[in-house]
A and B are shown apart, each in its own frame.
Chain A
Amino acid sequence: MKNAKNKETLAGWLFLMPALIIFLALVVFAVVSSFLLTFTKWNFLSGLSGIKWIGFENFVKLFTRDRKFITAVRNTLIYAVTTAPVSIVLALLFAYVLNGKAYFKKFNRMCFFIPYISSMVALAAVFRFLFRSDGPVNAILMNVFHVAEVPKWLNSTALCKIPIICVMIYAGIGFSLIVYMAALQNVPRELSEAAAIDGANSVTQFFKITLPIISPTTFYLCVVRLIAAFKAFTAINIMGMSDTAPSLVTEIYRNAFNSYNFGYASAESWVLVALILVITLVQFRGQKKWVHY
């Protein structure tokens, strides 16, 4: 009997082995060592002997002397609080219509979904053209809306975030749309019908019945899409905005792989980890107020 149990245990670990080895090396080892690196000053080019333990100095420098880092944190927050809510609201709007009575549902679902699975590199390349000062967006502004002085989107530090935000919203909607459509299918039709008999119009029905029922889905999307927005990198780097509108990840990338300051970049990456954890925890705290299970 003991023998059989040992055999079972052995089989269990053997089956788990391939996943476990990669997990231990690329996740557990990597997380622990990157955490330790945050307390060091280490330029990779100086070799292993160049590692110097400096305690919290990296973090002190980050928050007191590194203006670019502070900008990056602020930009990251801007990207997060714009792209996530806008894409979720639009996705809900589109999903609600596509779930109700309309023609060409399949075709329209496809239109919203394809950007999500398309390469972000390709989309960012397209959007960089669209927002050129002589590009289609400005052409529409001039010819349709008769704007006399069209902005130079890509060259101004203030405006260049807009193309980035647009492409991230554009690419992000498809995901939330699919999740919402699945959730809306589970809203019992009888509830709306009963409300309609009681004289509630469709707007009231939506806000008083549909929205509360799908609130767990909204909560899930807020968590997931905010985390995704915090990791914004591809669009910014491809549009060539890493210097004018850096995000946390573009800064981590620059410090780590352009100047090989591994200690400093690790510290930045753990600020990202902390931010994601805090935002997610705050959302879990706040959910009691508005999420109905």
Chain B
Amino acid sequence: MKKQNRSSRVINTIWITVCGIIFLMPLLWMFSSSVKTGPEVFAADFHWIPKEIQQDNYRRVWFTSNVPFWHLYINSLLVSVIGTLGQVLVSSMAGYSLAKINFKGKNAVFITMMVTMMIPVQATIIPRFILFKAMNIYDTLWSLILPGFFSITSIFLLRQFYMGLPNELMEAARVDGATHFVIWKDIMMPLTKPAMVTVMVLAFVNSWNEYLNALIFLPSNKNYTVSLGIQYWMQMTDEYNLMMAAAASAVIPIIVLFLFCQKYFVESIVTTGVKG
């Protein structure tokens, strides 16, 4: 029995690892091509690691082009970092209000928000375009940052977390006459840290990978995000080594982030589950 157990364990390991490596291959191929010369990418005798590592590909993509990646990185980082911090702040306040403050109308607001979750963002994009033009934030990074501040999923998640915190925590402070702002800032919000990190991981990844909104709202080169940078290289050249250097540059920060906080990635999916 025990022997049979072990052999089934080995068989399972073998085929799942084969599948896993197949899944890794497109990404490995991307990294490998990003350090090859143009002809090497198409060469018949394939090597994962080229004889000579072409750092020059990255130099070209990052510095000597019309849309240098260092600039796109700054844009993407501004959008993702400001958007994520804003989203956590806005959602934390809304979540606290919906969970811990008693007032008329809050359930109506919450239910309306949940209902609109079903409506795809594609159905709101035209009015948003008009609105952003009117607000003069079209073709500025704000047209990506501002919508990033609001996420029903994050509000929902933080509201659930606040509901789980016992009211007794706030009662003593209430008796002492503390305002809701002080209670939220000093007592309750610090307790929601795990939920906030979960929300932040999800928000950051979504915002870093955003494509449709960037395509619509950021037409000028100077405002390009990393996603638009890859597209730029795909339209500009047939040199797959440069395209792959661009693509790899976009993926690396997310993989690094994943390796450092796997736990929160898994949690963000298990608890919220919904990706826009």
Chain A residues packing against B (C-beta within 8 Å): 8-9, 11-13, 15-16, 18-20, 22-23, 25-31, 33-34, 37, 44, 94, 97-98, 100-104, 107-108, 110-115, 117-123, 125-130, 134, 136, 170, 173, 175, 178-179, 182, 220, 224, 227-228, 230-231, 233-234, 237-238, 249, 252-253, 256-257, 262, 265-266, 269-270, 272-273, 276-277, 280
Q: Which of B51-59, B62-70, B99-107, B192-200 contacts A (4 or more CB under 8 A)?
A: B99-107
Instruction: Report how far A220 CA is from B272 CA in the complex, Å.
Output: 12
Closest residue of chain A to B179 (Cβ to Cβ) is A11
Are B247 and A230 closer than 8 Å at their CB atoms?
Answer: no
Given A114-B258, A117-B265, answer yes or no on A22-B240 (Cβ-Cβ < 8 Å).
Answer: no
Interface of chain A, main secondary structure = helix
Are B26 and A179 closer than 8 Å at their CB atoms?
Answer: no
Closest residue of chain B to A176 (Cβ to Cβ) is B269
Interface centre among B125, B126, B246, by most A CB within 10 Å?
Answer: B126
Are B103 and A8 closer than 8 Å at their CB atoms?
Answer: yes
Given A112-B20, A118-B255, A125-B230, answer yes or no on A15-B184 (Cβ-Cβ < 8 Å).
Answer: yes
Are A15 and B273 closer than 8 Å at their CB atoms?
Answer: no
Which residues of chain A are near B5, meaning CB under 8 Å? Answer: 101
Closest residue of chain B to A130 (Cβ to Cβ) is B26
Interface Cβ pair total, 8 Å cutoff: 261
> Which of B8, B27, B101, B205 has a CB less than 8 Å from the CB of A126?
B27
5 smallest CB-CB distances across A and B, nearest first, come from A15-B97, A111-B20, A30-B124, A12-B103, A122-B247
Which residues of chain A are near B147, meaning CB under 8 Å? Answer: 22, 26
Closest residue of chain B to A107 (Cβ to Cβ) is B20
Are B93 and A119 closer than 8 Å at their CB atoms?
Answer: no
Are A182 and B251 closer than 8 Å at their CB atoms?
Answer: no
Are A102 and B124 closer than 8 Å at their CB atoms?
Answer: no
Are A34 and B123 closer than 8 Å at their CB atoms?
Answer: yes
> Which of A25, A33, A253 has a CB less than 8 Å from the CB of B212?
A253
Q: How far is the CB of B259 from chain A (nearest CB, A)?
A: 8
A selection of 8 A-B contacts at a CB cut-off of 8 Å is A9-B103, A15-B93, A18-B149, A19-B150, A44-B130, A117-B255, A228-B275, A234-B212
Given A19-B94, A23-B150, A256-B125, answer yes or no on A130-B258 (Cβ-Cβ < 8 Å).
Answer: no
Which residues of chain A are near B29, meaning CB under 8 Å? Answer: 126, 130, 136
Closest residue of chain B to A231 (Cβ to Cβ) is B120
For residue B243, CB closer than 8 A to chain A, the reply is yes
Given A12-B103, A19-B94, answer yes or no on A103-B24 (Cβ-Cβ < 8 Å).
Answer: no
Number of interface residues of B (CB under 8 A): 90
With A11-B97, A224-B274 given, can you name 8 additional A-B contacts, CB distance below 8 Å? A16-B109, A19-B90, A19-B155, A23-B113, A178-B266, A182-B266, A234-B212, A253-B212
Are A101 and B8 closer than 8 Å at their CB atoms?
Answer: yes
For residue B250, CB closer than 8 A to chain A, the reply is yes
Are A8 and B23 closer than 8 Å at their CB atoms?
Answer: no
Interface of chain B, main secondary structure = helix
Are A26 and B20 closer than 8 Å at their CB atoms?
Answer: no
For residue B191, CB closer than 8 A to chain A, the reply is no
> Which of B94, B129, B244, B258 has a CB less than 8 Å from the CB of A15?
B94
Interface centre among A20, A25, A100, A122, by most B CB within 10 Å?
Answer: A122
- CB proximity to A under 8 Å, residues B1-42: 5, 8-10, 12-13, 15-17, 19-21, 23-24, 26-27, 29-30, 33, 42
For residue B203, CB closer than 8 A to chain A, the reply is no
Instruction: Report how far A170 CA is from B30 CA in the complex, Å.
Output: 15
Given A11-B180, A30-B124, answer yes or no on A276-B265 (Cβ-Cβ < 8 Å).
Answer: no
Which residues of chain B are near A170, meaning CB under 8 Å? Answer: 23, 26
> Which of A25, A128, A130 has a CB less than 8 Å from the CB of B131?
A25
Are A119 and B227 closer than 8 Å at their CB atoms?
Answer: yes
> Which of B125, B146, B184, B208 has a CB less than 8 Å from the CB of A22?
B146
Which residues of chain B are near A8, meaning CB under 8 Å? Answer: 101-103
